[in-house]
Structure 1
Amino acid sequence: MNAFLHSNRLLSSLVLLVVAACAETASADEDALRERGRVIYKNLCIDCHGAQGEGVAGAYETPLVGDSSLGELAGQITKTMPEGDEEACIGEEAEAVAAYMHHAFYSEAARIRNRPPQITLARLTGNQLRQSLADLYGHFHGNTAYTDERGVKGIYFTGSRWKNENKKIERVDSTIDFDFGKESPGEGIDKEDFFIHWTGSILAEETGDYEIIVRSTVSFTMDFGKMGRELIDNHVQSGDKTEFREVVRLTAGRAYPFKIDYIQRKRKTEQPPASISVSWIPPHGTEQLIPKRNLIPWAVDPTFSLQTKLPPDDRSYGFERGISVDRQWDDSTTAAAIEFGHIATEELWPDYRRRHKNDSDDNRQRLKNFLTELVETAFRTQLPDELKELYIDRQVAACPDDGDAIKRVILMTIKSPRFLYPATDANDSPSQRAANRLALTFFDSIPSDKWLLEKVKKNQLQSEDQIREAAWRMVNDFRARGKTREMLHEWLNVGHIGDITKDDARYPGFDPQLVSDLRTSLDHFLDDIVWSDASDYRQLFLANWSYSTDHMAEFYGESWKPIAAEVTTEEERLPRGPGPQRMRKTGDDGKLRLGVLTHPYIMSGLAYTDASSPIHRGIFLIRYLLGRTLRPPNAAFSPLSADLHPDLSTRERVALQTSPEGCQVCHSRINALGFTLEHFDAVGRFREMDQKKPVDSSGGYIARDGQEVTFNNAQEVAHFLATSDDAHRAFVSRAFQHFVKQPVAAYGPEKLDELTRKFKESGFNIRSLLVEIAVISAMEPHSEKIAG
């Protein structure tokens, strides 16, 4: 037995030696090929492209940047280089130059080597400023814990005011949309004299302007954001006015408490019929009743939403970065500080004073304590004595009026780099730094939650396990959910689709209401995937179901008809008001429903008004879903009109327009992917024929590793995106950039590989990925690595 084991060990050793020798030989051969290519590049290419691939003025000014594979480079060199003498570099010479150029400019290692990513010093983005001020306000009240409960709580009384003995009904309504007419709203309630008290919270899933619309035939009042903060006052019904509108800017992931007191009073004259509905126009949407999914059946703690308009942030790297500091930004932060100073004076300080009425107030100590807590929360750390003297004591001494002192301190605080630049935490404890970065990663905000600050106080955010435990608690928060929705929109480039309009003659019925339904359908689908138990990224492409409304089914046909079993009795009686109300699941055999890939909102957004656009769809697939780079086009051009070539299909027309050799450098990649979605027309409807010709949806893709993949249809593309390493890395990179606002390679050249590997090992669990991203950000001592 020992001899047998000994011989096996010898054999294993020999195998390892052979493998090592082969690897060394292969490496030597690659080095020799690259060296040969370097010499050819120096002789034939350097005059146009420059020694470092930087481009040469007057020759070929575009630098050699991108992620082209070896095969793609060899093909381009053979066809196009050197310009004017393409035959001078073909065959083995082209392969040698491609090997050199890939190693020097295009490989991932080369890109990192040539342009080392750095963690850049950045101010708060507009959204981070908005979220941070909301949490600074929320610190004094509390933040909303996640709940699955939905609806609005209604308490119904007979008689026109609140009297406990007259309470008849207490229930959770799906939404507020009632037409009582001249009848009683419930058993035991006087039909001519009743009072309804609705309380709840409105959950905003996207940041933007919302128009709140209340239609009522009788008197009512509505508080919003805080009980006592009145939004609409119709306590005395005025004339024939029955519609009331207010625009408020809400922040994604925030719940806003509201109260409606609805009063039908007995009158000497004829009693008017009683009705009320509460609807909104959300960003990118049309008017709809505020749906049940956006209502929580109790009033959460008071909430603040900044109304000051903030300038857009830099997006040149594909994600928002707070790098521009100009007059517009400076003015907007000043306006934000003034707005917050007003709300702090009117609401936070009176509430604080009431809760601390028994505290000593010698030398205005109660006010100083309030301001100290506010400034320390904003600065994400405890204040040393010298800063307390500067920010608190001097300002209080200079202002006899409490309100003036508060506004003065808040202006100094919000304009301070200690607030506006989160990375200025080098001297904080490890637990404090971890809390700062966890809050910034998940919430775009400051750490304000009591449980998180308690962990900082007890120094319980030092180890990786402690940080990961906190991250898992934070990832399910409403605020993290809102940020995740934003990330998915960025990944799908939904934010840049804009208004979708189509030719009325070709596509009658494609109206703004349908577009609003489509966007809501997509968002329902994304939420279901991410927040399911599996949270499986692959289902974003493989799921053979989606959500639809009756309106969508009418336009898109039987395949989009909602599943009847999804409708409850309560949902059937609703709605009476406008908008996409019956959003229900629909499914098919997997031919039409391929997750996000063929969703009609995406397909119609990536199309012209009267025709599909393989070019837009191809760029979307390459740049966003596969994470590849494309150089800017040599020149802008308009698509060929279908009227000029009435016999050509869209595929044939695009192939004709992009046939010149100069176009093919990019369009050989773009078209090959865009054509695979040609079964979906300009509005995202499935079709078998285009211009009376069978649709050809064949195409292909060359992966980063040089593997050539061919596709016959969208189903094969969907399966590829679910399993492709390129797609996985693109998703991981996009998520990291969105949540951390820094490039992943800046945290180490191996971090993208590490995150992608863990993503796969987790079963492609999206929430798990977000936790790992937060852990990297929280653990990395990047305040020492910042490039100013």
Structure 2
Amino acid sequence: MTFTPHIFGSALVALAVLAGAAPAEERTGEQIYKQMCARCHGAKGEGAKNYPLPLTGDKSLPQLTGVIARTMPEGEPEALDAEGGKRVAAFIYDSFYSPDAQAKRNPPRVELSRLTVKQYRNSVADVIGSFRGAPKVEEKQGLRGEYFNSRGFQGNKRVIDRTDAEVKFDFGKAGPDPDKPETFDPNTFCIRWEGSVWAPDTGVYEFVVRTDHALRLWVNENRKPVIDAWVKSGDNTEFKASLFLLAGRAYPIRLEFSKAKQGVDDSNKTPKPPVKPAFVSLNWKRPNRAIEVIPARNLTPQKFPEVYVVEAPFPPDDRSLGWERGTTVSKEWDAAATEGALETAAYVVARLPELSGAAANATAADRLPKVKAFCRTFAERAFRRPLTAAETALFIDRPFEGTPDIDLAVKRFVLLVLKSPRFLYPDAGTAPEPYATATRLSFALWDAPPDKELLAAAAAGKLGTRDEVAKQAERMLSDPRARAKLREFLIVWLKLDQAKELSKDAKRFPGFDAELANDLRTSLELLLDEVVWSASSDFRQLLLAD
């Protein structure tokens, strides 16, 4: 507020009355204020009944001193000598008037943002995935297809090894190679398609395989198929399985198809049994979309490792401003974070030999050192910075104290790390500035924690200039996670995330159905990708395109 003559009012009138009791220069500014000002303006300048406004403002100390010298006490400025006015002005300024004094008296409340649900899942996926590695992304599309002229997948029976853009085949009563019909027995052959599938969105995907013969499908799981109809019975020709996937990541996929009479070997029979038709297609239903054949652009023959995805259900994040924010910490969110930590601990222990490199044999001499080294790296990647000595004792040493059971100790460790504020709140703690920069950059571009290269740059002190940060940002933009996040941003900008379904009057638009709506949405997404990532990229097209 701005000082005006009436602010000090009768308080300084009283000062003038009492001025004769003792010289002003013999008292401090605080004494003068307490004796003559506090009863009207409050002991700490907060205001009182007669003068409720607090003594705060933006004037400098010389300016404030001048106001007091010219106007105080109100109507009798000569009652307070210049030296006494300077002292009381200095006290008022330093104690509660100036912005710095106000900041000291009323320090701002520090509010931390937690990880959003998407950031939480991405963080856990990346921490575990960092122990598996991944091939360099190549511009390859489709799946590797191996065609065998047999019931099983014997190597000496493989006839064709090629890349198929997508899996959508109607073989009819012929074999897979109509140009060379003698190559395959049309009654008995099998095919294996293998590679990875890119998820463009975060959410639940429904994988749908349509065939009239035997099949098995693995998605993001190499141990157990998500669809197993290898021993086929009945007339069902459509098989489904649902999985939750994170955007911008490749998940291993394998589809095995077999055309043969189940349980009977007809290869030596004469005459041959009549040929039955065969078809197979690999489809999916993306979140809030229609079923479609998985397109080549979402398939790659490269084999990527399994991605761990936390399945625990979380309450939705706040989107009142249009984008997800981790501003609410509810009992439901805390319970979900606990469930996610328990789920992750069980997963890590089940795959501990793979992730840590330690033998499963409990008596192996090097098992404990390797497991503890794994835990240290896990914690540093989860916290997005190196551990201090105190943190090493708390997170690495303590879980292993008092128990010979290494698996139990690892469970304790994972729970301790994933429930720590150091993991859940990116701004918590006192991370060195290079690591704080790395964290802000990675969550801005990926909704995920820093990768090994970014952490290495932070460790080397190479994130201190604009050019160094720009160099890392340019590298990170080539990652599929950056593309997925930018597409999501544009979808939110266009408010398409609010339109879950699109329908029209069937009489006025008889050709409009779910498949057409799906194609329109795909067309828009391809346009956005073209505008942003093509050689002729120009953001103005987002505003000028038809």
What interval of TM-score do these two structures reach, taking the shorter chain for normalisation? Answer: 0.7 to 0.9
- Cα distance change on mapping 1:339 and 1:230 into 2, 3 Å: farther
- Cα distance change on mapping 1:361 and 1:229 into 2, 3 Å: farther
What is the CA-CA distance between 1:234 and the residue it aligns to?
A: 2.3
What is the correspondence of 1:185-196 to structure 2 with a 5 Å cutoff? 185-186=176-177, 187=180, 188-196=183-191
What is the correspondence of 1:305-344 to structure 2 with a 5 Å cutoff? 305-344=309-348
What is the correspondence of 1:218-257 to structure 2 with a 5 Å cutoff? 218-257=213-252
What is the CA-CA distance between 1:273 and the residue it aligns to?
A: 3.4
Cα separation, 2, equivalents of 1:541 and 1:415: 44
What TM-score results when the alignment is normalised by the length of structure 2?
0.72
| Residue 425 of structure 2: aligned partner | 421
- Cα distance change on mapping 1:166 and 1:467 into 2, 3 Å: same
Gaps of 5+ in 1: 1-116, 544-593, 595-788
Kept after mapping to 1: 8 A contact 2:151/2:260: yes
What is the CA-CA distance between 1:384 and the residue it aligns to?
A: 2.2
| Residue 501 of structure 2: aligned partner | 499
What TM-score results when the alignment is normalised by the length of structure 1?
0.51
| Residue 31 of structure 2: aligned partner | none
Cα separation, 1, equivalents of 2:517 and 2:236: 31
Kept after mapping to 2: 8 A contact 1:144/1:255: no
Cα separation, 2, equivalents of 1:256 and 1:351: 18
What is the CA-CA distance between 1:420 and the residue it aligns to?
A: 0.6
Cα separation, 2, equivalents of 1:242 and 1:464: 57
Answering whether residue 398 of structure 2 is matched by residue 403 of structure 1, we say: no
450, 454, 457: which one aligns with 1:455:
457
536, 539, 549: which one aligns with 2:538:
536
| Residue 208 of structure 2: aligned partner | 213
Answering whether residue 136 of structure 2 is matched by residue 133 of structure 1, we say: no
Equivalent position amino acid for 1:250 in 2: L
Kept after mapping to 2: 8 A contact 1:226/1:301: no
- 1:573-627 Cα offsets, whole Å, 9 max, x none, are xxxxxxxxxxxxxxxxxxxxx2xxxxxxxxxxxxxxxxxxxxxxxxxxxxxxxxx
What is the correspondence of 1:580-619 to structure 2 with a 5 Å cutoff? 594=546
What is the CA-CA distance between 1:294 and the residue it aligns to?
A: 1.0
Answering whether residue 351 of structure 2 is matched by residue 347 of structure 1, we say: yes
Answering whether residue 430 of structure 2 is matched by residue 439 of structure 1, we say: no
Kept after mapping to 2: 8 A contact 1:226/1:257: yes
Kept after mapping to 2: 8 A contact 1:360/1:366: no
Cα separation, 1, equivalents of 2:110 and 2:499: 30
Cα separation, 2, equivalents of 1:502 and 1:470: 46
Cα separation, 2, equivalents of 1:470 and 1:346: 35
Cα separation, 1, equivalents of 2:230 and 2:531: 44
Instruction: Between 291-300 and 359-368, report the one with greater CA deviation.
Output: 359-368
Structure of larger gyration radius: 2
Kept after mapping to 2: 8 A contact 1:125/1:322: yes
| Residue 92 of structure 2: aligned partner | none
- Cα distance change on mapping 1:425 and 1:189 into 2, 3 Å: farther
| Residue 698 of structure 1: aligned partner | none
Kept after mapping to 1: 8 A contact 2:187/2:276: no
122, 142, 147: which one aligns with 2:113:
122
- 1:108-133 Cα offsets, whole Å, 9 max, x none, are xxxxxxxxx99952000111112111
| Residue 203 of structure 1: aligned partner | 198
What is the CA-CA distance between 1:484 and the residue it aligns to?
A: 0.5
Instruction: Between 401-410 and 165-174, report the one with greater CA deviation.
Output: 401-410
- Cα distance change on mapping 1:237 and 1:504 into 2, 3 Å: closer
| Residue 83 of structure 1: aligned partner | none
Answering whether residue 383 of structure 2 is matched by residue 388 of structure 1, we say: no
467, 472, 475: which one aligns with 2:474:
472
- 1:75-101 Cα offsets, whole Å, 9 max, x none, are xxxxxxxxxxxxxxxxxxxxxxxxxxx
Equivalent position amino acid for 1:440 in 2: F
- Cα distance change on mapping 1:223 and 1:363 into 2, 3 Å: closer
Equivalent position amino acid for 1:432 in 2: Y
What is the CA-CA distance between 1:291 and the residue it aligns to?
A: 1.0
What is the correspondence of 1:357-756 to structure 2 with a 5 Å cutoff? 361-362=365-366, 364-424=368-428, 426-428=430-432, 430-447=433-450, 449-543=451-545, 594=546
Cα separation, 2, equivalents of 1:318 and 1:279: 32
Equivalent position amino acid for 1:163 in 2: Q
- Cα distance change on mapping 1:437 and 1:244 into 2, 3 Å: same
- Cα distance change on mapping 1:455 and 1:221 into 2, 3 Å: same
- 1:337-381 Cα offsets, whole Å, 9 max, x none, are 122222222235434336899x98457222211222111111111
Structure 2 residue matching 1:230: 3-state secondary structure = coil
Matched pairs, number: 425
Equivalent position amino acid for 2:483 in 1: R
| Residue 713 of structure 1: aligned partner | none
More helix, by proportion: 1
Equivalent position amino acid for 2:347 in 1: I
Equivalent position amino acid for 2:324 in 1: E
What is the CA-CA distance between 1:419 and the residue it aligns to?
A: 0.4
Kept after mapping to 1: 8 A contact 2:384/2:455: no
273, 285, 298: which one aligns with 1:294:
298
What is the CA-CA distance between 1:506 and the residue it aligns to?
A: 3.5
Cα separation, 2, equivalents of 1:217 and 1:396: 54
